[in-house]
Amino acid sequence: MAQRVQGTEDLYGDYMRAWQRMTDVARELFDAYGFDAIETPTLEQVDTFVHGIGESTDVVRKEMFRVVSGALFDDLLARGSEAHLKPRQRMAMRPEGTAGVVRAAVEHNLVPQGGAPAKLWYAGAMFRGERPQRGRLRQFHQVGVEWIGASDPAADAECVIVLMEYFRRLGFDSSTLRLTINSMGDGTCRPAYREAVRRFILDHADEMCEDCIERAALNPLRAFDCKNARCREVMEAAPKVDQALCDDCRLHYGQVKRYLDEAGIPYVEDPRLVRGLDYYTRTVFEVEVEGSGVGAIGGGGRYDGLMELEGGRPTPGIGFAVGFERIYLALQAQGVAMAGEGSGCVYVASMPDQRAAAFSATLALRNAGIRTEADYQGRSLKAQFKQANRLGARICVVLGPDEVAAGVATVRDMTSHEQVQVPLAELASHVAERLGA
């Protein structure tokens, strides 16, 4: 039997309905905040991610799924190197949405000089070659927003506010959500801070793991995220970014916090929150659900250098993304059914000689926008009623010889078991009215 790839999931039934609800809630909420939908390709040139996310990040070095066409694959194996490939031949499945959206904003000049910011939201599958475990998949689903062209700290605060409102609307108990924030500095103050952390790691090299020593050279701030308990202990004493911020960054961060306070959003400051993607500058944030054991359900931050890294003009930006699979697990743990009710339907039951009349009635109901099912397996009336119950039908329309001879249908309410006869010409409007009531 063919099997799905490890770390991927099929979305169907309640799980699919939950993903649809997650995007529906996003559409309504993000629309109110002025975000327009965008869909960028799942496949991008590798360079889009290398430039944006950063060459030294785990996401780019270890987790990106690289793609070549079948013909090139053979050629690649024969040559044993990809050095000869043109940039457009080196592709990857997107590990996240931000780099692609910003690439699109540059390519289509979505933020013209002196023009209004671009406010975009997206929903779709992302791919990371991580070791699969609960809440960590190789193909997972994100909903995210990118607000490109705004440097105002109010934009940072609004991103956090809309994120927390999103979780509230999905049904989370707000008291269990833990919002962590930090400022990572910018091009003025971060280089010196990175250097201070690099020196700290090298001074404590004998106490830290191989990976962290490697990180010292490539990306020292990642050492704050090391899984190794001893490294975490040592890093407790490492220089903290809040001591290293330049005046502009300190001011910006202070204003973000003031806006959050004004909006009554509780948060925890964590100067070790560094996030795994290199493009972040200044504000970063993450949300976890206490006791859920699934890690962050959402995160984001400011990326004032990313437009330039993708070949555009210097343009500030900020955004976030949330992970569907983790949200689903965390909500389940809180006893919240994310899928909501199944949509129910109307069922048209008939005897074999009245099949043609049932066919027409089914079409008429569907044309009136009513979700309608019927029998396509030649089952008995009794079996059709059972099927109607199984499908959660609220109304059953019965077409037997007497009904068809009289030009009517019997409309049966599946809850109260009341039934009335309705002229066939009025069936759709009658049923629509009943469903609306």
Question: What residue ranges bind ligand HAM (CB under 6 A)?
Answer: 96-98, 128, 130, 135-137, 140, 142, 144, 146, 276, 296-301, 319-323, 325-326
Tell me whether residue 198 or residue 252 sits nearer to ligand HAM (CB atom): 252
What is the end-to-end Cα distance of the chain in Å, rounded?
48
Tell me whether residue 120 or residue 399 sits nearer to ligand HAM (CB atom): 120
CA atoms within 13 A on the CB side of 308: 9
- Provide, rounded to whole angstroms, the least separation between the CB of residue 13 and ligand HAM: 20
- Provide, rounded to whole angstroms, the least separation between the CB of residue 277 and ligand HAM: 6
Distance CA 303, CA 98 (A): 10
Tell me the residue number closest to ligand HAM, measured at CB. Answer: 323
- Provide, rounded to whole angstroms, the least separation between the CB of residue 97 and ligand HAM: 5
| Tokens found for residue 229 | 């308990």
Query: What angle (nearest 5°) sits at the alpha carbon of residue 387, between those of residues 383 and 393?
Result: 135
- Provide, rounded to whole angstroms, the least separation between the CB of residue 109 and ligand HAM: 20
Tell me whether residue 234 or residue 274 sits nearer to ligand HAM (CB atom): 274
**DSSP H stretches of helix in 9-126:** 13-32, 46-53, 58, 70-79, 98-107
Q: How, if at all, do strands 393-399 and 345-350 pair? A: parallel
Tell me whether residue 54 or residue 301 sits nearer to ligand HAM (CB atom): 301
**DSSP H stretches of helix in 108-178:** 153-170
Residue with tokens 């809630």: 25
Tell me whether residue 44 or residue 96 sits nearer to ligand HAM (CB atom): 96
- Provide, rounded to whole angstroms, the least separation between the CB of residue 101 and ligand HAM: 8
201's CB contacts (< 8 A; 6+ apart) are 208, 212, 213, 215, 216, 220, 223, 238
What is the phi-psi region of residue 80: left when phi exceeds 0, alpha when psi lies from -120 to 50, beta otherwise?
left
- Provide, rounded to whole angstroms, the least separation between the CB of residue 298 and ligand HAM: 5
Query: What angle (nearest 5°) sits at the alpha carbon of residue 306, between those of residues 301 and 307?
Result: 125
Tell me whether residue 156 or residue 325 sits nearer to ligand HAM (CB atom): 325
Dihedrals phi, psi of 232, to nearest 5 degrees: -60, -40
- Provide, rounded to whole angstroms, the least separation between the CB of residue 140 and ligand HAM: 3
Residue with tokens 């996240």: 96
CB 93 within 8 A of CB 127: yes
- Provide, rounded to whole angstroms, the least separation between the CB of residue 116 and ligand HAM: 19
Tell me whether residue 11 or residue 85 sits nearer to ligand HAM (CB atom): 11
DSSP per-residue string spanning 414-428: TTT--EEEEEGGGHH
Residue with tokens 């984001």: 300
Query: What angle (nearest 5°) sits at the alpha carbon of residue 190, between those of residues 280 and 142?
Result: 10
Tell me whether residue 58 or residue 403 sits nearer to ligand HAM (CB atom): 58
- Provide, rounded to whole angstroms, the least separation between the CB of residue 357 and ligand HAM: 50
Tell me whether residue 65 or residue 359 sits nearer to ligand HAM (CB atom): 65
